């Protein structure tokens, strides 16, 4: 499984043409306590850069952008009752949705983990 990151602090873990999407630990730290998560519907078509989800926190509501284009196949239903999973395990149990990729070449514009760590160290 390969993990990529965006400048908007989303992560995407890819295995074949399937992927899992969430927000990074850095993002959840900036947001503070997560109070509600709105995920896209199963079957939704998302385009790279589209606002696909919303994460509400005590500080603000923030859009979560699709790192690549594709179709949502599964959403993390646990977040309905436990939105705090995004705080406690943002890059694990706090994932937001899974999707099939429509264009794997879009992954080439994303950062690997080392590049992302370098990016956030400059913020």
Predicted confidence (pLDDT) per residue in 37-85, tens digit: 999 999 999 999 999 999 999 999 999 999 999 999 999 999 999 999 9
**122 located within any domain:** no
Q: How many domains are there within the chain?
A: 1
Show the domain range for 60.
Answer: 2-104
Residue 76 lies in a domain: yes
Residue 26 in this model has a pLDDT that exceeds 90:
yes
pTM of the entire predicted model: 0.96
pLDDT band at 95 (very low <50, low <70, confident <90, very high): very high
Report how far residue 38's alpha carbon sits from residue 60's, in angstroms, rounded to the nearest whole number.
14
20 three-state secondary structure: strand
Encoded tokens for 57? 């926190």
User: Does 34 map to a domain?
Assistant: yes
């Amino acid at each position: 499984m390969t993990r990529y990151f965006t400048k908007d602090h989303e992560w995407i873990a890819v295995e074949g043409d399937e992927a899992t999407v969430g927000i990074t630990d850095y993002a959840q730290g900036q947001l503070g306590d997560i109070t509600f998560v709105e995920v896209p519907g199963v079957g939704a078509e998302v385009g790279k850069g589209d606002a696909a989800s919303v994460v509400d926190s005590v500080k603000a509501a923030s859009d979560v952008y699709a790192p690549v284009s594709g179709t949502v196949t599964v959403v993390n239903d646990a977040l309905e009752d436990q939105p705090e999973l995004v705080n406690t395990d943002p890059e694990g149990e706090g994932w937001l949705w899974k999707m099939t990729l429509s264009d794997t070449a879009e992954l080439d514009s994303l950062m690997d983990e080392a590049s992302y760590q370098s990016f956030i160290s400059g913020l």
